[in-house]
Amino acid sequence: VIGVVIGKTDVRSFPDRKNIGSERFTFNFTIRDSPTHFVNVQSWGREEYIRSLSESFRVGDCVTIENPLIQSKEAEREEKFNPVTPSCYKLLLSENHSVVRTSPCYEADTRLLPLLHLPVKDPQDYYSLGDIVANGQSLNGRILNVLAAVMSVSQ
């Protein structure tokens, strides 16, 4: 699979249920290869492997993923913590079988880089900041998609 990384989480650790007293590490990222197709990628493993893999690319990089495991996703559970994707599958990376290679986007297909700037949600599924201010009371407690732009950054 070849795509541009459009999102990435930080490395996290969890207690390993099989080896009491040790931890397993994970991080997720999302890749896109067309305007309508993108998929979440999940990676689990030893701390050295996960940290090294996470540090090997960033959002905006083009990656090639070889030998991922393809799994059906559990939509309700997984989409709480990952972007909602149009696919009913996710990719799972294995330290022993999968390989992720980065390549500069100018060397990859020139169609990939513009995909980085496309929204992942339907354009009709957003609230503006004005809508939220005007209707804040009725929106209380709801999860919303917000489309906004950064006007300036300062200390």
Whole-number pLDDT of residue 19: 81
In tens, the pLDDT along 15-49 reads 888 888 888 999 999 999 888 889 999 999 999 99
Domain residue spans in the chain?
2-116
CA distance 34 to 144: 25
pLDDT at 107 over 60: no
Looking at the structure, give the CATH architecture of the domain made up of residues 2-116: Beta Barrel (2.40)
Higher pLDDT, 140 or 62: 62
Whole-number pLDDT of residue 60: 87
pTM check: above 0.95: no
In tens, the pLDDT along 41-92 reads 999 999 999 999 999 999 988 999 999 999 998 866 666 667 778 888 999 9
Across 64-68, 103-107, 111-115, least confident range: 103-107
From residue 111, how far is each of 4, 33, 35, 40 by CA, in Å? 10, 8, 10, 20
Burial class, 134, CB count within 10 angstroms (exposed 0-12 / middle 13-18 / buried 19+): exposed
